[in-house]
Structure formats: structure tokens, C-alpha cells
Structure 1
Amino acid sequence: MWDPEPGWLNTASYGLPPRRAFEELQAMLADWRVGRTSWEGWDIATQRSRESFARLIGVAAEDVCVGAQVSQVLAPVAAGLAGNRFLVPDVEFTSNLFPWLATAQVRTVPAASLADSVDSTVDVVAFSLVQSADGAVADYAAVVAAARAHGALVVVDATQACGWLPFDGSLADVVAAGAYKWLMSPRGSAFAYLAPHVRERFLPVAAGWYAGEDVHGSYYGEPLRLASSARRFDISPSWPVYSGTAPALEVVEEIGVAAINAHNVQLANRFRAGLGLPPGDSAIAVVDVPGAEELLRRAGVRAAVRAGRVRASFHIYTTDADVDLALNALTHG
């Protein structure tokens, strides 16, 4: 279902499209090139994507908005919670940090002590379910329990988790995710679950015609007539991007996140074992081998460097041969 060149260990930077997603995107582009059809047919993919994402994290589709990037879908959350007191991991990816720094009071602590640091001074806990820098998996249940015990809201960035790590999105108040990594979509599609009990606090400051209750009846003029669901936070979607997003998410559903998780973590642990490292629970592994970046590059292995260490990431299209190629490069030069 995929066509990767050997040595791709960088899904944490961007995922590779399933063949079906690539083909649907090409078909849309071919129609656009010659003006074969109107855009309404292309837009069906946006709703398919919304519904698929909702199923993947266990929430209702009417509680999901669509957008372009994580910081963009979090912007109305930041505006609505301006002045609140946030607790955030100290090495958090900035799409889930800068919006709060711009609008609120922020205290940072090590990710491992996040749950223990929640107290009566915290209004909102915001964190990545899987950390971008090192692949550490948050203790989601513990953080949620601590937040609820102190009446705090929970905002989760699931970009590095959604697609390989099973989790219940409904436990949080807000879950945002970019789809171009583990959901293997074109860059430019993102989603946010906005729980009904909190979204009344958020202002749809980017609302346009696509946020209307009746999209096709919202092209012109007053009055304000936004959707009653989370769609009021939608921005007008990029049709090519969502044409590739819908089939990619549906492939994840068909395979099953639990099956993908087992495959990914097994390969990551094969990689760790080959370097003498203990097993972990993540599809992302970081290594401190001297000269690792250059050793991997010479072997044709594509990985990333984050926070000064080589970051390798393993997904459904990764094979034992990919892992062995990387191990041979790191252990034998």
C-alpha cells in the first residue's frame, strides 16, 4: 500500500502517503488542471476526514473542527482562555506553547513531573501526548486525573501520537492534531476536538463562509449565522490537501491503530536493542551515537536531529530491513 525508498525513518517529520491517498490527490489535481468539475465534489473529502479523525480518537464528528495547522486550530482556544494560568512541559513543541505564551500566564515543568505539578494555581494543563523531541509518551490518565482533581482543563497536542498510539480523546477538553505525520496526509490538514462544555468559551475569530450553519447559504451578508457545532471553528479547507487526507485516515482505520502500534513499537525496540538500549513504549527512538547523523546519511537512512540527538521514527511501512540498515550504519560505520 506504500512505495517508500529503503531507509525512511522520519515519519515524526512527515509521513508517507498510502497509494490510495496519493492517487485520490492526483485525480483531484487532474480535474483542477482542466476545470473538469466544480469544487463541491472535492469538498466531500473534508467531511470524510472529519468523521474519520473523530472515530480514531473516540469523539463525535460534530465536536471536531477542521483547519490547517495545530497552532491555527488552537488560536481560538488561546483567545478564549486568555489570562488563564497554564502548566506546560518545558520542552513542549511550540505550536502548543506559543499560543499560550502570547495570551496567558505559563509555568513550565519537566514533562515527567507534569501530573505531580498540577495544583490549585493551574487553570489549564497543555501537553503533547508524545513528545516531538524524544518520543516520550505522556501518562495521559495521570495528567487528566490530576487536572480534574483541581478543576483544570486539559489541552492535548496529539500530532506525534494520532495514527499509532491508541487513546481516548474524550478524556480531554481539547485535542489538536496535524495530519501530515503519523496520519500520512499532505501537509496542511489539522483537526481539533473541542468538547461541547468548553467551546462556548472560545470565539470563532477566523469564521468565514465555511463556518456557517448552511455553508452554501453563508456566502454573503448579514446576519451572523454560524454552525451550532464545532464547525463554527472551521476554516475554508484546502481541497487538494483534504483530497489526500480522507483516504489516508481511512487506511489507518482499516488497519487499526492497535495493530499499527504493535508493529511500530516492535521495530523501535528492535532498533533500541541493536544499540544496547532498553525497550520502550514509543514509535520514536533517540540516539547519542557519535557522528550518528553523518553515518546514517552515508548509508541512505533518512532520520532527523532534534534537541541535539538523532531521532528515528518507525511506522507501518517501516520494515526489519530498514531497521537493520540503520543499525549497521551506526554500529559498523
Structure 2
Amino acid sequence: MSPLLGRRRDADAEATRAAVAAYIDTFGEEPGWLDFGRFGPMGRAALDEEAGLRHVLEHVRFGALAVTDGQHERVKRAVAAVTGFRPDQVVFQPNTTQALTHATYGVTGDIALSLGEFPALPFAVQRASEVLKVGAPRWLSTDHGRVTPGNLRDQLDSRVAAVAVSLVDYRTGYLADLDGIRQVIGDRLLIVDAMQGFGVVDAPLHLADVVAAGGQKWVRAGWGTGFLALSDRALERLTPVWSGWTGTDSPTQPMDEVLPPARGAAAFQLTNGDPVAQARLAAALEQLADLGVDLVQEKVASTVSRIIDLADEHGIPIASPRAEDERAGIVVLDPGADRLTALTAALHNHGISATTRDGRVRLSPHASTSEETLEMLASALVSFATTSPL
């Protein structure tokens, strides 16, 4: 390597470190928060947008509402920049569940999915089947909770019109192989609940036909922020069952007539969205796009590895994937039924926020997870390891 090339690489590496550090500096959660899989403390970008629009809405000077009217187009562009979809294929939603309901109610045919998915998916598919009677859920057998191309292949037939899967499984932390699943299911619709991976995994979301996610976790935009992204194939096949007065092709408010649904993604909405929520989500995603999801993923992967090492050091079994290509930002500890209470107590006593569910403990860090937080976790695990089994 020439000295000049070496200096350029060093400069690029230093610029990358500075960019990541600047991104991290916009977050201010207290040490001990390892529960981003539940909620991501809001960042400065989202909070500043909220504060600015609250000021506008408080005073509403002449022409002030123009800034709120433009937030829907802004958030569509921001989602598109991170997902790989076009802005016209995106529609704002108040949450992931409503987005998934829009999509699953629109499918004609059976939908294959695991009953172990986060309840938003199974409930939406089952309710659609009961009400519309144009398809049924196909409950998949999984590999210890993981939907993989291999176990999916032999469970599909001609009546399955769509396959629904989580980008990251909320129980196991498993990162779905979207590329492999896409190849296996062929021309069927691929519906992805991206909630537990959106903003922290640089995944090929463009391979999906339906992507639904929210901004309250890894994106750190707060509650009330979500979206639905639909491929052209999805728009051709899905029926906009749940379409409201803003979901038409009319450039103005429909008056004295009920117009048909729009021909694009806009059909999958009920009414105008909250412009403050749209601005929060847009600002958070613009910040994320400027840095790059891949750099966030790299930082989180390093922290996840350190958490796994800590668990190994203290003999705590890991129920989530260890391989980087199969994991995202979730580490699942499985201490055993007789030791679960002791572990949760140790975490609580050392100020660690985590989720306990189904006899396991889920730890979920982010790029901003600090050294102090990891030291607090290490102390908690030392305390746990030195307690006597019941």
C-alpha cells in the first residue's frame, strides 16, 4: 500500500468514527437501558422536530399550517431512502399493527406464517380470515421458532398467496434470511414485519412486497410513527379493504361523492396522519440515512458480541443466535426456570432495564449503549453468578 493510500484510508476511518460519534451524541438515555426491543428513548432529531411543530401549532400564524401539510410527503421520502422503495410506494401509518392489518386484509388466498410471530401478525391474519373468508392462516412449523428457507419450502402449496415473517423474531432474536425466503416462495407476496430490525439491520427490504414498521424502537422517533411500503406487485394484488376518504386519487377533499380507492399505496390509509408524528419519524430517518444503517448495525453488532461474551463468562446459556449473519440487536438469556428470578433481580438491582418473557431475559442494546451500561450489566451478572441456586 502506498503512503498516500494509507493516509486516505486512515482519514476515511477517522471520518467514519467521527460520524458515528456525532450520531450517538444526539441520544441521551440514562445508563442501564438495554430494552430497545421494547422502546428506544427518543433522539434529539425527533424531539427538536416535535418542539418546532408544537410552537407552530401553538401560534398558528397566517400560512403556518403549510409546514404541517408537507410532512406526509417528507416522511414518504425518508422511508424510501432507508427501505429501497419509491416514495409513491409508501404510506404513513400510526403504528406497525395498523399497517399489517391493511396489508393482510387485502390478500386473496392463504397466508403462511408462524403462530409464534409477534401477535400483530397472527391476529391480523386470523381476523381477516374470519371476516372476509377469502383465505386462511397457514400456521408454519418452525425450527425452534425460526422461519427459514429450508423449513418453509415444503409447507407451501398453490393456495398460499403470501408468506408473512418478522425481519427479526422478537422472542429468539433471529434475523430472517429474506433473500433465501424470497427465492423459496417464488411469485408469492412476501410480507415483512420489520419492527424489531428496522433501523438497526441493513437488510434487503426491497426484496419484500410488503414492509411494515414503526419508529418507536430502534429508529427512536417515539410512538405514533409507522409506515407501510408496498411493491408494485403488492399494489396489483392487494385489495384496499380498509380505505378511507384520504385514500383516493383526488387532489382535494372529496365532496358530495364517494370516490374509489387510489391506484397506489395511498389507498391504504384512513385519514390524514399526525403531522408531528410524521415529522418525528422523517427527522429520525433522515439522520439515519445520513449516517447509514450499515454503520449502526456494525456498532450494535460489536456491543451484542460483548454481551454474549459476558453471558458466556458467567455461564448463562444464550437462546439467541451467535452468528452475526443470523442476529440483530437482541440477546436472549436462558438461565433456566430455577434461576430466572435471581437473574431478573440482579439486573433490577443494578439498574438494567430488560424484558423478561417466557422464562427468558431479552437484552437489546443500540449504537448509543455506553460503556457504563455494559459495566452495570457485568456487575449484575457477577452478582447473579455468585448467588446460590435454590
TM-score normalised over the length of structure 2? 0.79
In structure 2, C-alpha distance between the alignment counterparts of 1:96 and 1:253, rounded to whole Å: 28
Indicate the residue corresponding to 2:332 in structure 1.
Answer: 286
Partner SS, residue 191 of structure 1: strand
Q: In the aligned structure 1, how far is the partner of 2:322 from the partner of 2:205?
A: 26
Question: Deviation of residue 219 (structure 1)?
Answer: 4.4
The percent of aligned pairs where both chains have the same amino acid is 26
Q: What is the deviation of 1:174?
A: 0.9
Q: Is the 8 A contact 1:28 1:240 kept in 2?
A: yes
SS at structure 2 position matched to 1:258: helix
SS at match of 2:296: helix
Assess, with a 3 A threshold, how the Cα gap between structure 1 residues 328 and 26 changes in structure 2: closer, same or farther. same
What residue in structure 2 maps to residue 6 of structure 1?
A: 31
Residue of structure 2 equivalent to 1:300: 351
Contact 1:66 1:233 in 2 (8 A): no
Contact persistence 1:76–1:203 (CA under 8 A): no
Deviations for 1:265-301, whole angstroms, at most 9, x for unmatched residues?
A: 1101101101115844221101124322221111111
1:94 to 102, 119, 123: 119
Q: Could you tell me how far apart the structure 1 residues matched to 2:297 and 2:147 are?
A: 25
The reply on whether 1:242 has 2:274 as its aligned counterpart is no
Aligned length: 329
- Give the secondary-structure state (helix, strand or coil) at the position aligned to 1:210: coil
| 1:1-333 equivalences in 2 (<5 Å) | 1-36=26-61, 38-82=64-108, 84-102=109-127, 103=129, 104-110=136-142, 111-116=145-150, 117-118=152-153, 119-121=156-158, 122-148=160-186, 151-215=187-251, 217-224=252-259, 226-235=261-270, 236-276=272-312, 279-281=322-324, 282-289=328-335, 290=339, 291-333=342-384
The one-letter code matched in structure 2 to 1:208 is G
What is the DSSP-based 3-state SS (H/G/I as helix, E as strand, rest coil) of the residue aligned with 1:211?
A: coil
Deviates more, 1:152-161 or 1:68-77: 68-77
| Structure 1 residue 155, shift from structure 2 partner | 0.8
1:15·1:180 contact (CA, 8 Å) conserved in 2? yes
Cα distance, 1:43–1:300 mapped onto 2, change above 3 Å: farther
Answer whether contact 2:300 2:367 (CA < 8 A) is retained.
yes
What secondary structure does 2:138 align onto?
A: strand
1:255 positional shift: 1.6
| Residues 92 and 278, structure 2, Cα contact 8 Å, conserved in 1 | no
**2:95 and 2:226 in contact (8 A); partners too:** yes
TM-score, normalized by length of structure 1? 0.91
1:73 counterpart SS class: helix
- Structure 1 residue 262 displacement after superposition: 0.5
Partner of 2:190, secondary structure, is strand
Tell me which moved more, 226-235 or 137-146: 226-235
CA 1:152 to 1:326, structure 2 compared with 1: closer, same or farther past 3 Å?
same
Structure 1 range deviating more: 197-206 or 161-170: 197-206
CA distance in 2, matches of 1:296, 1:16: 19
**1:54-80, Cα deviation, whole Å (9 max, x unpaired):** 111111111111111222112232222
CA RMSD of aligned residues (A): 2.1
